[in-house]
Structure 1
Amino acid sequence: MKRGVVIGKFYPLHAGHQYVIETALSKLDFLTIVVCGKRGQIVKGDVRGEWIRKIYPGVRVKVIYHNILDDDDEAWAKNTIKWIGYRPDLVFTSEYYGDHYAKLMGAVHIPVDIPRKKFPVSGTAIRNNPLSHLDYLHPVVRAYFVRRFCFVGAESVGKTTLAESLAKKFKTSWVPEYGRFYTEGRVNSKFSKWESREFEHIAKVQNSFEDELAGYANKILFCDTNSFATYVWEELLVGKGSREVEALFGRMKYDFYIVCDLDVKFKQDSVRMAKSRRKWMHKRFLDLLDKYNFRYVVVSGDFKKRLNFCEGLAREVIEDFRVNEDIL
């Protein structure tokens, strides 16, 4: 049985790394991928390891944190054997140091596209400008770097129209509201009383829905509501928000929440509540956005004014984004 190793920072994982991994998988019976992290790195080693697990389910992934000098091949070889628990037969890298590193472990080095001709990209280049290199990133990784706007507010204030219209302008994805689909499905049910477990379900699906679509977005994702809004609806329909839903919206990150103001005509439909609820809901969103210190803006005026403002803000966010503390 041939056993091997692929080791790297994967900071972030890109197409060149995947080429090395897939070459190794094609030649080995057993592979361990070692993700090397250091304290203080913006994208944590555990996050990078989870990307690889999602893309290559069943492959053994070890995440380690170290303080080994980059050019200390002997320390790297010694610790690699310790980390993976065996002496590898084959070592796969796209680095010139691979020959010496593999030899120290009694292994054979298999170089994979060292000149970077097949995938001319580096982790440094991606970190310097992630949104210009999305084509080199798997959807699982893209979802982490894509910027996100979330539209919230009371009913019938134009959230869906703005999200969908902006997605067309930017040729990107947008996220519909799962809670509305769910509500339409239960509208004729004899069980009129809402339960917290339903909102937890809605929040989980909304998060998953959003993260999947983020992987196919073009630099920015526009969300027509999110699990934070689910929490507000839970407060309204159950009487209080649950810790479970609070935890679910707490893990989602946005560049901006866009709060749509009430200065548009209310249109009733088959699932919307009474118009009288709008003021309470608008104020509740603002209060909770302040409470959780979420970054937001309020958009008012006609549709064209709102659209132009959001388009300008989105272009600023895309232009300014680099790997920095904002995405921790």
Structure 2
Amino acid sequence: MELSLIRIAIVGPESTGKSTISEQLANHYQTVWVPEYARGYCEKLTAPCTWEDEINMFRGQLELEEQMAANANRLLICDTTFITVKIWSDHMFGSAPQEVLDKLPQHSYDLYLLMNIDLPWEEDPLRDFPDMREHFMEVWHTELRSLNANYSLISGSDVERLQNAIQCIDSFMINK
């Protein structure tokens, strides 16, 4: 019997260690991780992000995830998901592209790990809202609840955070 691929989404506000922990988890579980498509996309922009850019990032994240899934070893660790496109679009433009809204209930993840805002803010030219972390944390909780997502809040220092994430995934895997 072939085991199905388990998709683990690493999500949360800016500067919560999503990329770091995604790579660490992939190494721990000897699998691949899907980087955040939007990071590379936004690094190339020469003007503020537009509605069309949001749609491009949505499509790019899904495509990259499917490409990486082919190389996954039972677990696919996803450094964020296209829910981020919904959250940013809602914040920046007042609404999200219908294409994104339509896909949200169809493209779920087996487990979401919501990174807490208890790590210090790290400056980065692609980060915009150091004073809105609490707001975006609430938005993430709301979005995950609205999807009826299976999620856990991951907190602690870098080492504790990794241990907490592994414990959460291991507990989830016992039932799979």
Same fold (TM over 0.5): yes
TM-score (norm 2): 0.93
Pick the aligned partner of 1:195 from 41, 50, 60. Answer: 50
Per the alignment, residue 106 of structure 2 pairs with: 251
8 Å Cα contact 2:155/2:164 also seen in 1: no
8 Å Cα contact 1:227/1:248 also seen in 2: no
Per the alignment, residue 288 of structure 1 pairs with: 143
Matches within 5 A, 1:21-36: none
8 Å Cα contact 2:105/2:147 also seen in 1: no
Q: Distance in 2 between matches of 1:212 and 1:283?
A: 31
Question: 1:238, CA displacement in angstroms?
Answer: 1.8
1:118-157 Cα shifts (integer Å, max 9, x gaps):
xxxxxxxx1xxx33xxxxxxxxxxxxx2101111111111
Q: Distance in 1 between matches of 2:135 and 2:95?
A: 14
Pick the aligned partner of 2:30 from 171, 178, 187. Answer: 171
Q: Which amino acid aligns with 1:180?
A: R
Highest RCO, 1 vs 2 (Cα 8 Å, sep ≥ 6): 2
Q: Distance in 1 between matches of 2:125 and 2:95?
A: 25
Larger radius of gyration, structure 1 or 2?
A: 1
SS of residue paired to 2:112? strand
Pick the aligned partner of 1:278 from 133, 143, 163. Answer: 133
Q: Distance in 1 between matches of 2:141 and 2:156?
A: 18
Question: 1:314, CA displacement in angstroms?
Answer: 2.0
Matches within 5 A, 1:131-150: 131=3, 145-150=4-9
Question: 1:315, CA displacement in angstroms?
Answer: 2.5
Q: Which amino acid aligns with 2:104?
A: F
SS of residue paired to 2:142? helix
In the comparison of the two structures, how many residue pairs are matched? 176
Per the alignment, residue 159 of structure 2 pairs with: 304
Per the alignment, residue 182 of structure 1 pairs with: 41
Q: Distance in 2 between matches of 1:284 and 1:262?
A: 13
8 Å Cα contact 2:34/2:65 also seen in 1: yes
SS of residue paired to 2:44? helix
Per the alignment, residue 239 of structure 1 pairs with: 94
Question: 1:160, CA displacement in angstroms?
Answer: 0.7
Poorly superposed stretches of 4+, deviation over 6 Å:
none
| Structure 1 spans left out of the alignment, 5+ residues | 1-125, 132-144, 322-328
Cα gap change, 1:197 to 1:248, in 2 (>3 Å) = farther
1:86-110 Cα shifts (integer Å, max 9, x gaps):
xxxxxxxxxxxxxxxxxxxxxxxxx
Is 1:221 paired with 2:76?
yes
Per the alignment, residue 139 of structure 1 pairs with: none
Question: 1:284, CA displacement in angstroms?
Answer: 0.6
Is 1:262 paired with 2:112?
no
Q: Which amino acid aligns with 1:169?
A: H
Per the alignment, residue 204 of structure 1 pairs with: 59
Matches within 5 A, 1:117-136: 126=1, 130-131=2-3
SS of residue paired to 1:151? strand
Q: Distance in 1 between matches of 2:122 and 2:112?
A: 23
| Structure 2 spans left out of the alignment, 5+ residues | none
Q: Which amino acid aligns with 1:222?
A: I
Per the alignment, residue 18 of structure 2 pairs with: 159
Q: Distance in 2 between matches of 1:317 and 1:219?
A: 13
Q: Distance in 2 between matches of 1:276 and 1:146?
A: 37
SS of residue paired to 2:65? helix
8 Å Cα contact 1:199/1:245 also seen in 2: no
8 Å Cα contact 2:12/2:115 also seen in 1: yes
